[in-house]
Structure 1
Amino acid sequence: MKENIYKLDGKISLGQAVPFGLQHILAMFVANITPIFIVAGAAGIGSGQMAKLIQSAMLVAGIGTLIQLFPLWKIGSGLPVVMGISFTFVTVLCFVASTYDYGTAMGAVLVGGIIEGILGLFAKYWRKFITPIVAACVVISIGFSLLNVGANSFGGGNGAKDFGSAKNLIAGTITLLCCFLFHIFAKSYWKQLNVLFGLIIGYIAACFMGMVDFSSVTHSGIISLPQIMPFAPKFNISAIISVTLIFLVSATETIGDTSALAMSGLGREVTEKEIAGSIACDGFVSSLSSIFGCLPITSFSQNVGLIAMTKVVNRYAIGAGAVIMVLAGLFPAVGALLGTLPEAVLGGCTIMMFGTIVASGIQMISRCGFSQRNITIAALSLSVGIGFTQVPEIFSIFPAVVQNVFASNCVAVVFLIALISNLVLPKDMERK
């Protein structure tokens, strides 16, 4: 029955499941691999190894989505949550990977994921402290912290010999314009594919300009299993503290995504069990991701928006998409092809995506209401968090561990200031 596609556990045919599942994968595919490009690039990882990491990213995203859809014990929400590699960690992991090495970043993800997973199982005891205004400030800071990352990619990538060259700027501009125009003129849920459209056109343009090297694709095999521990994890206390703090930030985003999905897709409030399972899945699957050399995984807001638009919540349809992702992760040629993506094309896509994150945070504040209390929390946390980290020398009197956590990480500072402000400011500020 056709209406079963709009039911969580409705029975549907394979012919229905595959196209709807593929739609969800296409909506998040580019965003799923982009953090790998950025962090691996900061760590100086070559295109061959990067292709293997992209392969692993697809596999882990598929596994994480399946666990969310069909929980294992208390891990997973049972809701149509689509998982992918998180942008939230890009800033801190770029810092860790470039300051130490990629193995140190993986060790921090391994430990931080376990901590978030355990906290997720006990979410009912602490999630009341992460109010909507705190989450909104965090989302805005994430967007702002990534804007310079997108701009660097647009110019050709950090350290590129031809940074800011005409070729890079042309490729980035073509990609950005295609994303922008597709988003304006496309109809219905096709708007969700604006990034993919821009990437394809920008990639074709880059090929004509001689910016793409296919040598890694021709040397890749037909099928292979992703490599286990391609980078031996190393454990540095400063890196672990930094990354774990961002895992707490990620948990606030997951609470928001899961709550929004239940309300917009199912027309009801999310349950404590679903929240706990969703956060636990974030954490424990992120630790699994580090075993494959990948970044932390989280729920994807793009897919929450797609569900809100289409009302397709069927677990089996989205599960079909997750299976497609797992299968894609077994073919290294797919990862190698994606690894040929020029930085400038990536920048053209991401600069708009990162701006969208800022806009989403502003929308979240709007939903919270512009009360004196909310404005005070937002103004204080954003001004201190973003302002101080633009001048990292201001942290020079603090111990090295504090500097490593906060000096270059505006998301961590904004989260801490917003959390403290929310706890200490009186609830009835308007009457005072």
Structure 2
Amino acid sequence: MDDKIKNKSNNSNTSNTSIDNLYRLDGRVSIQQAVPFGLQHILAMFVANIAPIFIVAGASGLTTEQSAMLIQSAMLIAGIGTLIQLFPIFRLGSGLPIVMGISFTFVSIFCYIGPVYGYNAIVGAVLIGGLIEGCLGLFARYWIKLITPIVAASVVTAIGFSLLSVGASSFGGGSGSEAFGSATNWILGSITLICCILFNIFAKSYLKQLSVLFGLVVGYIIAIFLGVVDFSALHGSAIIALPSIMPFKPEFNLNAIVSVTLIFLVSATETIGDTSALAATGLGRDATLKETSGSIACDGFISALSSVFGCLPITSFSQNVGLVAMTKVVNRFAIATGAVIMILAGVFPILGSLLATLPDAVLGGCTIMMFGNIVISGLQMISKCGYTQRNITIAALSLSVGIGFTQVPEIFDIFPHIIRTVFAENCVAVVFIVAIILNLVLPKNMEAAAASKEASK
């Protein structure tokens, strides 16, 4: 009898330890516990991962078959990039639970380059721009001091605010949808959001952290009954297929390269913000130089690899940073199972097509709170920096200019096209530039400088 009680106690302790390991980077967790968390991360970003492909392919005049090939490559590259972020190779990767996917930041410039210079010029520009960003990451120690904590905190806050409209757009059914804002989308988004909240309140133990997955599953089932899930893409999907290497021969157009490289610098800024936010919210500490450097290097070099498969640049996904902020689950093995699911979706296109049937409204119901968490994380980071006059000036002015000006993009009309493309609708880039400039020009101790000036009178 005593032996049975001891065995029960030991099993309980082992189970509790395994659950606790979900909140540790390198804790050992069972595959049964890991897979749901990995799947939750992939579902949270899957639609956003393939959406840029549809937009750019359509603008560039690619065929349906070419678009399908690029989507397959996007899933494979996103999975590989995530694995390298989780488990660094040489100096590539941060070692943090960062999930990678196709970047939306480049869509506007690609929609200009594609029709003017052709999709091959996009591929060539991604190859060169990715290599440049990767090298910047490797040598980050020479310039990273420009990114002080208050600059990083301002960028993270801007990322959160920039995503709020994305979440709202998904909630309404997806930008450009004929049924945008319909009663059906409102019902789906609301039910999904309520399910996430209720599951988080009533679920026990670590299961609480699967609230997003629960909401997605319930919302998806209801969407099927409402007849808004489109399964038509499954009929033409191959069961298994290997991605093509160099399906588009790169063309190196100087205008395209310069434009895309500038956007890569913006992407690097977002990656710095995501890395800072993830370390702060998931691990309760600042990101190290090694982690930030590896994160940017992975961002660039894997984007260059993506071009080899004819695909677009990848970057860290803020959606998943928000998910970590909500759940605090940072276990690398758990998130790696999601990366493996992405790779399988790249090799088995029918799996990717099935995941792509997730309605936007269902996704919006889950992500709206995740994006709000990023805003709160940024504000917490600002608070941690301290409310000195200097920090308040940097944060307040960079956020007001960055978010305010990009709400009225016409204000940039006097600038050349490249400037408008980079900054007019990208509040993160504007916040970053303004915060960097203020950080360089403002006195290190504004209070002391003001007091000294007052005393001299």
Kept in 1, the 8 Å contact 2:84–2:298? The answer is yes
Structure 1: which 5+ runs fail to align? none
Deviates more, 1:345-354 or 1:376-385: 345-354
Moved more, 344-353 or 199-208: 344-353
CA 1:354–1:21 in structure 2 vs 1: closer, same or farther (change >3 Å)? same
Tell me whether 162-171 or 65-74 shows the greater mean CA deviation.
65-74
* Structure 2 residue aligned with 1:253: 273
Between the aligned partners of 1:397 and 1:212, the Cα distance in structure 2 is: 44
Larger radius of gyration, structure 1 or 2? 2
> What is the alpha-carbon root mean square deviation over aligned residues?
3.5
Q: 1:335 aligns with which of 352, 369, 383?
A: 352
* Whole-angstrom distance in 2 between the partners of 1:210 and 1:49: 28
- CA distance change for structure 1 residues 401 and 310 in 2, over 3 Å: closer, same or farther? closer
Instruction: Quote the Cα distance in structure 1 between the aligned partners of 2:281 and 2:164.
Output: 27
Contact 2:97 2:330 in 1 (8 A): no
Pairing 1:297–2:326 present: no
Higher mean C-alpha displacement, 155-164 vs 1-10 = 1-10
Structure 1 range deviating more: 120-129 or 352-361: 352-361
Q: Give the equivalent residue in structure 2 for 1:326.
A: 343
Judging changes above 3 Å, is the alpha-carbon distance between structure 1 residues 335 and 141 closer, same or farther for their aligned structure 2 residues? same
CA contact (8 A) 1:117 1:280 kept: yes
Q: Tell me, yes or no, if structure 1 residue 95 matches structure 2 residue 108.
A: yes
Q: Does 1:412 align with 2:429?
A: yes
Query: In structure 1, the residue corresponding to 2:446 is in which secondary structure?
Result: coil
Measure how far apart 1:317 and its partner are. Answer: 6.6
Q: Quick one: structure 1 residues 254 and 386, their matched pair in 2 at CA, closer, same or farther if it must change by over 3 Å?
A: closer
Shift in CA distance, 66/404, structure 1 to aligned 2, threshold 3 Å: closer
1:22-75 Cα deviation digits (max 9, x unpaired): 254234212332322443454475998776555434422332243345443332
Q: Contact 1:113–1:284 at 8 Å: present in 2 too?
A: yes
Give the aligned residue type for 2:35: L
TM-score by length of 1: 0.82
Correspondence for 2:305: 288
- Structure 1 window deviating more from structure 2 (385-394 vs 105-114): it is 105-114
Show the counterpart of 2:378: 361
Q: Distance in 2 between matches of 1:155 and 1:259?
A: 32
Higher alpha-carbon deviation: 331-340 or 176-185: 176-185
Counterparts in 2 of 1:274 and 1:139: CA distance versus 1, 3 Å: closer
Shift of 1:410: 1.3
Question: Is residue 395 of structure 2 the alignment partner of residue 381 of structure 1?
Answer: no
Given candidates 439, 445, 450, the residue that maps to 1:422 is 439
**Cα displacement string for residues 76-115 of structure 1 (whole angstroms, at most 9, x for unaligned residues):** 34x35443216xx42x334234445494765554433222
User: Equivalents in 2 of 1:225, 1:47: separation in Å?
Assistant: 17
**Paired letter, 1:240:** V
The one of 410, 413, 420 equivalent to 1:396 is 413
Q: Which amino acid aligns with 1:149?
A: V
- The CA distance in 2 between the partners of 1:49 and 1:177, in whole Å, is 39
CA deviations on 1:151-181 (whole Å, 9 max, x unpaired) are 2332222332222222222222222222333
**Matches of 1:26 and 1:229 in 2, distance apart?**
30
Letter in 1 for 2:232: S
Q: Does 1:29 align with 2:49?
A: no
Contact 2:402 2:427 in 1 (8 A): yes
CA distance in 2 between partners of 1:73 and 1:404 (Å): 35
**CA-CA distance at 1:407 after TM superposition:** 1.4
Say yes or no: does 1:84 pair with 2:100.
Answer: yes
> Does the residue aligned with 2:316 lie in a helix, a strand or coil?
strand
Structure 1 counterpart of 2:165: 148
3-state DSSP class of the match of 1:367?
helix
The separation in 2 between residues aligned to 1:67 and 1:44, in whole angstroms, is 27
Unaligned runs of 5+ in 2: 1-12, 451-457
Which range moves more in the overlay, 135-144 or 242-251?
Answer: 242-251
1:246-293 residue CA offsets vs partner (Å, 9 max, x unmatched): 2231342255257559965xxx98664454333312221122234442
Q: Contact between 2:186 and 2:361, CA under 8 Å: does it hold in 1? A: yes
The number of equivalent residue pairs is: 418
Q: Which residue of 1 aligns with 2:364?
A: 347
Question: Which segment is superposed worse, 183-192 or 339-348?
Answer: 183-192
User: Structure 1 residues 195, 24: CA separation in 2 closer, same or farther (over 3 Å shift)?
Assistant: closer
C-alpha distance in 2, partners of 1:309/1:348? Answer: 20
Identity of aligned residues (%): 54
Task: Name the TM-score, length of structure 2 as normaliser.
Answer: 0.78
Distance in 2 (CA, whole Å) between partners of 1:294 and 1:349 is 26
- Per the alignment, residue 165 of structure 1 pairs with 182
Kept in 2: contact 1:238–1:401 (CA 8 A): no
Secondary structure at the counterpart of residue 350 of structure 2: helix
1:372 is matched with which residue: 370, 374, 389? Answer: 389
Equivalent-residue separation in structure 1 for 2:298 and 2:133 (angstroms): 9
Distance 2:137 2:182 in 1: 47
Question: Is 2:130–2:313's contact at 8 Å kept on the other side of the alignment?
Answer: no
Change in 2 beyond 3 A, CA 1:50/1:231: same
